[in-house]
Structure 1
């Protein structure tokens, strides 16, 4: 267990519970779904005049989505500060791998009509069958990719 979770598992459980409570509160109090891929797209509507980014579904809710994203960033920062110096700030990966991973995840989120937070947390929580299919696809792809990388590195 220590090899998989060298810093313990309690903070992962706590973070997951806080995320679950947060999206549940957002949905119950406003009826809004807290997926991050739409936050990303609606933010682009401020800087790009491309017709896709100017669709009403992105421009009408972009203010609350920016506040939502800022809260997630602030929450992550406060969580890290609470954990102290034991939480690593570096992944040990080269920048190009992080950039490539981000591009692939962003493309996959757009292709899958949502991201893991939208489908995995909100979609499964509201028992949406398309979200179940998306999450199973995300997980299978993640497992396959992780094993491929381990095999490629010779681990």
Structure 2
């Protein structure tokens, strides 16, 4: 499948999932909020959260099993740096009251000024990080 088509399909699935979650449960599809709710949320609210996270994990695993892995593979920068990156993302989502899916997909769709600003900040720092890692530090 052409990369543009798989990207279009992926974006369509993400948008559909966001609409279905909002329509069925009245919830925003913010992955950091969904994940944290598994551990600190209300007991009766955990089932759909666990199912959602399981689906996020199952998708790439199924692609790999059926030979459709697009080369994501093993992190090239090592586990310590990946752990640090994950920690920084977690801190950032806490400070920003949400993540790229909550702000970037659902917030922008609702024309939330806070989400527009947050997404601009995410994108700016993401671009800067890639530039520094690839061009200044020489990591591929």
Q: TM-score range by the shorter chain?
A: 0.7 to 0.9
Q: Is the 8 A contact 1:80 1:87 kept in 2?
A: no
The alignment status of 1:136 with 2:91, answered yes or no, reads: no
Question: Is 1:120 matched with 2:104?
Answer: yes
Between the aligned partners of 2:83 and 2:138, the Cα distance in structure 1 is 23
Counterpart of 1:9 in 2: which secondary structure? helix
Question: Tell me, which stretches of 5 or more residues in structure 1 are unaligned?
Answer: 1-6, 46-57
Could you say which structure has the larger radius of gyration?
Answer: 1
Match of 2:53 among 52, 65, 69: 69
Q: How many residues end up aligned between the 2 structures?
A: 137
Give 1:91 shift. Answer: 2.7
TM-score by length of 2: 0.85
Unaligned runs of 5+ in 2: none
Mean Cα deviation higher: 97-106 or 9-18: 9-18
Does the Cα contact within 8 Å between 2:103 and 2:115 map onto a contact in 1? yes
Residue in 1 that maps onto 2:133: 149
RMSD of aligned alpha carbons: 2.1
Matches of residues 92-131 of structure 1 in structure 2 within 5 Å?
92-131=76-115
Local SS of the residue matching 2:3: coil
The answer to whether the 8 Å contact 1:27/1:33 transfers is: yes
TM-score (norm 1): 0.77
